[in-house]
Each structure stands twice: as C-alpha cells, then as structure tokens.
A = this chain, B = another copy of it.
Amino acid sequence: MSKILSSETWERLRSSGARTVALQFPEGLKRRVPETAAALKEAGYAVIISGDPCYGACDLATDALSLADILIHFGHAPVDDRPGVIYEFVQFDFDPEVAEKATSLLNKDQPVGLITTVQHAHLTDKVAAVLEARGFTIVVGDGNARTPCRGQVLGCSYASARSAGTSQFLYVGTGVFHAIGVGLATGARVVALDPYTGFVQEADASRLIRRRFVQIEKARKAETVGIILSTKTGQRREDLARHLVSLSPVADIICMQEVSPDSLLNLGYDCYVNTACPRLAYDDQVRFPVPVLSPPEYEIVRGVRDWDDYIIDEI
C-alpha cells in the first residue's frame, strides 16, 4: 500500500467502512493533494478535497466532511478531537544529542520542564534521556484536549507547561514564539533550542511586550472597534466575543472565516480585537492596517484589567 498515508491510517480507513474520504492539508503540505487523492482512488475510495486555507486542526474542513464519510486531516495533532476525523500528522526527526547544546543555559539545581511542538513530540523521551544522563531533572507535563501529546504546546495553549510547573523550561523547536508564550503563560525562564541548527537562546518576552503596549496605546484612540469572531471549528469563542463587545458601545461583533489585512482594511474599523487564533495579533500585526488586540489587551484598554495583569491569550 502506498506510503503516502501511514499504515495506521490505512488500517483506520479500512475499519471505518468509509467509502468517500475528505482530505484536508495545511498550506505547506497542499502540494501533496493530487498524489494523495490518486493513491486513495487507486485503493477504491472516492475523494473530496478541502481547498480552503488551513493552518491548524482548530480549522477542520466540516464542509468537505459533510460530503464524505470520514476526514483525514494532515499535519496537525487533534484540537478538541471530533468524530469522523483521522489525524495524520507529520514527524520531523533530529538527533536528540543536540540537547547537549542547551545545558550551558540551564540550571542543574532545579528541574527543567521540557516542551516542544507536535512534529517533534515523538522524540521528547529521548531528549529527556540525554539531559538526565548529564545530571538534569526533567519534567514533561501532560497535555490536554487541545495539545494531546506530552510536553506539547501550541500558539494558543501552554497547558502542558503549566502542568510541568517548573521554574525553567527547555523548548525544542524552531523560532522563539512558543518559548516566549511559555514564558508569558508561566512566568518561568525559557531556553529555546533549534533542533536542526543547535542554536540556543534565552527567550525574551520584553520586545513582544513593548510592541504590544504600543498597539494598546494606539487602540485607546479608536472610535470604532471590531470584535472578530471566527467561524472556524476550534477558534469560535462566542461567549468571549459577547463579553468584549459589552465593554463599550463603539464595538461590534464581526464574523469572519479568514482574517486578512484586506478584509480588515475594507471594513474600516479603527481597531480590532481578535478572538480567533491568538497568533494573528502577536505574529501578524505588521500586516494589519490598524491595531489588532488580543482579548486581555482590549480589557486593558477598557480599564477592566491592569497593565500588571498582562497575560498571553490562550484558547
């Protein structure tokens, strides 16, 4: 059987009795669509493709699933697991010995929480063993419905870091976004290790905080505020949107599927509050024409939260 799908997924497909299979790929893997569809058709299945943009398992292709018996969602671990969905996620290997590079920045006298993203989570125990062999005490926190793997974090959920409860963390993954998020969510010191290059750095949240405070100050002058309410399966926070809109008469709830710079520009509000994917405000502010605040940031603008209680937005 084709290697385009894991043997476990082929087995789950067979045992499901499905005849029509919907396929959903994140943007970076979409090029695999035609060959994956061909392999499934060769195996006797009818296929429905989801062609909409997708950046996480919080955005399940319910439209495509409604035309099929089962949905295979590629590239992400489950977020609030739903019936009728098989998650085929992608694992990226690296040499666990790379963890040695991080030892100089970690304190051997205190336990180290180990955190990572889903594509590296299969190597968490091996990384822990490398560090334990060098005398470190390693704690791997449990996940939750949104982050099912041990030690896994998402840009919208740091539950496994809180669960570890350590005062220092090692984040294994590229970039510093997740590491900064863990620092903001837990107050702990976080060391970030790129598992491919071995580059180690301490995650510093202060630049993010400074940038966000600039946006908060700009938003104070807004005469119209759009509260964005996502229509995606795992990003739809209706109660939160209703709470935020109740804080001011100049705010309106805006339903959106995709939050794009063009859409925000066309709507013409002076400021937006993002209740969809938290990364939109933190990562994409430079692409947006006006301030796009997180819910806690907007609470600061409206005076129902103090600067000192700044927290990172999680779903």
Contact = CB atoms under 8 A, between A and B. Distances in A.
Interface of A: 22, 27, 30-31, 33-34, 37-38, 41, 47-53, 61, 63-64, 67, 224, 226, 228-229, 231, 238, 249, 252-258, 262-264, 266-269
Copies in the complex: 2
Contacts of A27: 266
Given A231-B63, A249-B41, A49 B266 contact: no
A49 B257 contact: no
22 contacts: A22-B255, A30-B266, A30-B267, A34-B252, A34-B267, A34-B268, A34-B269, A38-B224, A41-B252, A48-B254, A49-B252, A49-B253, A49-B254, A49-B255, A51-B226, A51-B256, A52-B257, A52-B258, A53-B262, A63-B231, A64-B255, A257-B257
A262 to B, nearest CB: 8
Given A249-B41, A255-B63, A255-B67, A263 B31 contact: no
Nearest to A249: B41
Contact of A51 (B37, B41, B48, B267): B267
A22 B252 CA distance: 11
A251 to B, nearest CB: 10
B253 A67 contact: yes
A229 B257 CA distance: 17
A33 B258 contact: no
A49 B226 contact: yes
B33 A268 contact: yes
Contacts of A61: 255
